[in-house]
Structure 1
Amino acid sequence: MKRLVPALLVALLMSGGAYAQSINVGPGGVSVDTRSPRERAIDREIREERRDRYDRHREREWRRANSRRDCRTVTTERETPRGVVRRTTRVCD
């Protein structure tokens, strides 16, 4: 019994610290994230909000560009040593 209590105490302390960290293995190597799950969730919400704002902006620009009737598509071809390069652009007058 004298050995069991300290072992349980150490196990509780070790698992509590591991909960607040995550280990990431990726192309840049191994990294340890010391943020809490709450902080990670907040960062994730901020990224989603930025992505939504970016998507709304892109859709607004697309609608603005497509609402004009006097647009045309211009394709230019240029020959390079590696072959023909085609560039298509949309020109609105």
Structure 2
Amino acid sequence: MDIEFDSAKDEANIAKHGISLARAAEIDLLAYVADDRFNEPRFRLYGLIDDEAYCVAGTDRDGKVRVISLRRAHAKEMRRYVP
């Protein structure tokens, strides 16, 4: 997956969630969920990184995934969105 992200946002994500946004490129995708709560089309990706469940919030920018956040996925989310 071809990704991009803001370096300041990456630092904030590392401080808050303990993982770099760069790791989003490694996600083994299990589910895609559209998110229409914002002014731009966004989505959440659920999948595995190092055999742990993660959620990527992102948007499409010129054919790349613009990563907004990356965090551990909650068990409830995985049950709801992952078949």
Q: TM-score, normalised by structure 2?
A: 0.24
Q: TM-score, normalised by structure 1?
A: 0.22
Q: Judging by fraction of residues, say which structure has more helix.
A: 1
Structure possessing the higher relative contact order (Cα contacts under 8 Å, 6 or more residues apart):
2
Whose Rg is larger?
Answer: 1
